[in-house]
Amino acid sequence: MKKVEFPDQSVWPSLLARPVLSLEEIDKRVAPIMNEVKEKGDEALKTFAEKFDGVKLDVIELSLTEWEEVDDLLDEELKSAIHLAAQNIKKFHSSQLIQEPVVETMPGVKCWRKSVAIEKIGLYIPGGTAPLFSTVLMLAIPANLVGCKEIVLCSPPNKSGKIHPAIIYAAKLTGVHKIFKAGGAQAVAAMTFGTETISKVYKIFGPGNQYVMAAKQLALKHNVAIDMPAGPSEVAVIADQTANPAYIAADLLSQAEHGKDSQVILFTDSREILNQVEKEINQQLERLPRKEYAAMSLGNSRLILVEDLEQAMEMSNAYAPEHLILAVENPEFLAEKVINAGSVFLGNLSCESLGDYASGTNHTLPTNGYATAYSGVSIDTFIKKITFQKVTEEGLRNIGKAVEIMAGAEELDAHKNAVSIRLKNL
């Protein structure tokens, strides 16, 4: 990791820059995959499964037998952990189900909003070396709470044509309706356009590699919504002299191991903490099974010594991290100054991994600086809010003249007449 001391504000943009991805080159590779699936449907999915996943599939949809046998493929300890996480996630997200009031903006004019679930949604769940069954919980639980009618899930099969049993178990627990053996950009294409087997959805959720992310961006051009734009995983830690260096190193490595494009940053006002964290990272890295991924990520990462915690928070808000850990003596005070972050973890015991799995908050969060404008996934991500209004005779008399004047000023006479014709008949 690169160490930087007391950087001048003029160099912050370059210092806090993410690893640059060649998006144009990625799009060139993804667009033909999207078009192939659009034109050839299931046939294209099977071709790509053989090409990219190394498996020849006869059937894309998960069979009833595979649904039923999954209970026997996981040990009880893991199943209990999944249930505990699901319980906490459901409890936290249930608190977001709020009935909004009817508002009388003036006598005789009532306005309100109604939350309506998005009917058809698609979940993309990565498999391979890191099968993210926890993401199934994060996405399917709120989708079910709001009442999405059709929830489909795509995940890449292994070379035996199987999907990781923990993904299936989490899907079964949370009410996913169908699972399909499709990965990468081709899975996103299938949910965007529909195939003989996979239904077209209205919104696509879930993480993935740079090709999946590019495919999701292309889905927007075909009237399919996505949860949020995203990039590689990242974490920032703000630490003072009370922090535990071993904890900080573990937190930084927990995000670094996601992949070579991930990025982690430490802001601290303590030179001693900075040096101890660097030492701990080097020691802990050697014990990680995914140390090659983590090591590449650390090449994109920074250990930054700042003047004080005020400057640390200013730099963090400029960076807008996906995850922010406040490993300081008074985290509640510092938390009030957070403006840009996906999810915040307060104190030395609140490690980011807890939010990734089981505390209850959602781990599908804005990355790549999008926390300046986007929120993490919540109940609201799975609903549309439709406005309603009802106007009585009294209300029309109270509001009508103002509308006539405004429509006339904009030279939209048909708008004005829609009010005038009613006022004349009162």
Backbone angles phi and psi of 240, in degrees to 5: -115, -170
Q: Residue 393: enclosing H or E segment and its boundaries? A: helix 393-409
Does the annotation mark 332 as catalytic? no
Q: Decide: 120 and 201 in contact? Cβ < 8 Å.
A: yes
Residue 311 DSSP SS3 = helix
**What own/partner pairs with CB < 8 Å and gap ≥ 24 does 6-9 have?**
6/305, 6/306, 6/307, 7/304, 7/306
Catalytic hit among 280, 322, 352, 363 = 322
Give the whole-angstrom CA distance, residue 208 versus residue 190: 15
Catalytic hit among 93, 164, 258, 323 = 323
| Residue 48: strand pairing partners | none
Does the annotation mark 322 as catalytic? yes
Closest C-alpha to 264, from 226, 228, 238, 292: 238
Give the whole-angstrom CA distance, residue 83 versus residue 66: 20
Q: Decide: 280 and 246 in contact? Cβ < 8 Å.
A: yes
Record the tokens describing residue 115, joined without a space. Answer: 């939350």
**Which DSSP string do the residues of 232-277 spell out, in sequence order?**
S-EEEEEE-TTS-HHHHHHHHHHHHTT-TT-EEEEEES-HHHHHHH
Specify the residue for token string 């404008």: 373
> Which residues, in sequence order, are CB contacts of 375 under 8 Å at separation 6+?
342, 366
Give the whole-angstrom CA distance, residue 100 versus residue 107: 19
DSSP 100: P
Q: Decide: 339 and 375 in contact? Cβ < 8 Å.
A: no
321-356 burial: b if 16+ Cβ within 10 Å, else e = bbbbbbbbeebeebbeebebbbbbbbbbebbbbebb
Return the active site residues. 322-323
